[in-house]
Amino acid sequence: MLRRVRTGVSRPFVALGAAMLAIVTSCSTAHRSPDAPDRQADVAPTAPMPAEGVGDPTYPVLDDVVDFGEGKPPQAYDGFLTAALADIETFWASGFEAVYGEPWTPLDGGVYAAWPTRDQPIPGCGNEVSTYDEVATSGAFYCRAGDFIAYDDHELLPGLVKGLGAQAVAIVMAHEFGHAVQARTGDFDEPVILKEQQADCFAGAWAAHAAHSADSSIRFDDSDISTALIAMIQIRDPVEAGGLANPEAHGTGFDRVGAFQDGFVGGIARCATFFTENREAQLIDVPFLSPFDDPNGGDLPLIDPVAAGDDIVTLIPASLDLYWVPLLTRSGFNFTPPTLLGFSPDEAPPGCETLHGTDVARAAVWCPATNVIHLDMHESERLLSDRLSGDLSVAYLIASAYSEAVQTTVGTGLSGALRSLRNDCFSGAWAGANAPSTGADSIVELSAGDLDEALVTLISHSDPTDGTDAEGVAFEKVEAFRTGVLGGLGACLGS
């Protein structure tokens, strides 16, 4: 959702003529009382997953963990869900006292599955009972009044499983358990955004337990952590919700992922400080631009249809030049900005014999022999049309390739995943410099949701396992990009 803030920009874009333009155009496509349920942020669910009679045999259903009601349509994830909930309870039984000095008290009200034709009542949270529609509106929530958790077993969880995998539902439940923790520590009446940040952090602490502890009955690998990061972005606030100005704000994907990572690295003890460390000052609040504020409706096109240069291929290279050229010149480096060249993925990028299949798969790659960034136009258009990605997705790809030219110029000497992660940090530093709050001289300016778009894209370009050593695993890439956004270039260089 980038927008142009400087006029008169002229930046040459070398395309493949009228045929490339034809390729591109053919691809385009209430305030609540303190005891009201603390909801999961809205998720746009996919179609419900069909009920299956046989679930995952690795995780048999534990009947005493969830109140399913009588006759609930079985879900393939029921066994995994009950195993995860039992593991989360065990995690807090040991971890709570270690940090807070008091024994953990199990949920008094339990956990309830809500589905449209359920006859057995679910406890109310402000009302006598909770209807399915009330649960579905929240998706999943913890209620302090009855000390229980309820979740939508018809749309929310099936949609998450279908789109992301069963690990996503475990993260949602770990988050809701975080609110139960707050009820026990006396922190439930803290501002909503801080409670949500801490609950995300608690979810990250449990995820680290699942990934590293031999005592966990759930096993998370690098792919599962990548899924968890995407789940945190999925449950972000809608970009048009008003950001931190909304007293019910739960946070952007960028902020929620950051809190999750804090918990994953630092554990429960790290999360316990969220109400005393001025956490709000660490949040990124970028305003939403309505179509009335921005003629592009918040998203730059890949190529301006009227050839006025108000597009990604013109403004992003110019913005990168504005950021990098003065910095490198002042540091005594002789730097020639790379040119951007579009290509169709059904043919190899022209003019660069050093590229190979893995490089091309990055969708934007710098050719040192010609000082050209090759941009996959089909993939760029796909990103622009995807629900979770957008113009900063394409901008991130260009910025990462541009960072290759910068690394070569300054001679970092890095290779493999370390080099790719440095590109991510450099890209984050450039993106952060274009936030409205910086007041910096800018050609483009971030809008709500942009940083989330970049996160989704860099996660999709991550290594499947730590041993791959090409791009970095999703957790590392997110951490590197966030470091650049929040700390600038100095943080990337360790200064």
What mean pLDDT do residues 412-423 have?
94
| Per-residue pLDDT tens over the stretch 214-241 | 989 998 998 889 989 988 887 765 554 4
What mean pLDDT do residues 73-77 have?
94
Closest C-alpha to 202, from 221, 185, 227, 177: 177
pLDDT of residue 58: 84
**CA pair distance 176, 196, nearest whole angstrom:** 9
DSSP helix/strand/coil, 304: coil
DSSP 483-494: HHHHHHHHHHTT
pTM of the model: 0.84
| Per-residue pLDDT tens over the stretch 370-380 | 999 999 999 99
Number of residues that make up the chain: 495
240/317: higher pLDDT: 317
DSSP 91-133: HHHHHHHHHHSS-----SSEEEEE-TT--S-EE-SSSSEE-HH
| Per-residue pLDDT tens over the stretch 244-278 | 455 455 678 888 999 999 999 999 999 999 999 98
The helix (H) or strand (E) run that includes residue 389 is none
**CA pair distance 478, 428, nearest whole angstrom:** 10
Compute the C-alpha angle 280/240/284, nearest 5°. 25
pLDDT of residue 357: 54
Per mean pLDDT, which of 220-229, 276-285, 424-433 is the most reliable? 424-433
pLDDT of residue 18: 31
Output the CA–CA distances (angstroms, integers) from residue 218 to 87, 215, 232, 362, in the order listed: 7, 9, 19, 32
Closest C-alpha to 452, from 369, 408, 391: 391
Angle between helices 474-492 and 222-234 in degrees, nearest 10: 70
Q: Taking all residues of the chain, what is their mean pLDDT, rounded to a whole number?
A: 83
| Per-residue pLDDT tens over the stretch 455-475 | 999 999 998 887 788 899 999
Do the beta carbons of residue 418 and residue 407 sit within 8 Å? Answer: no
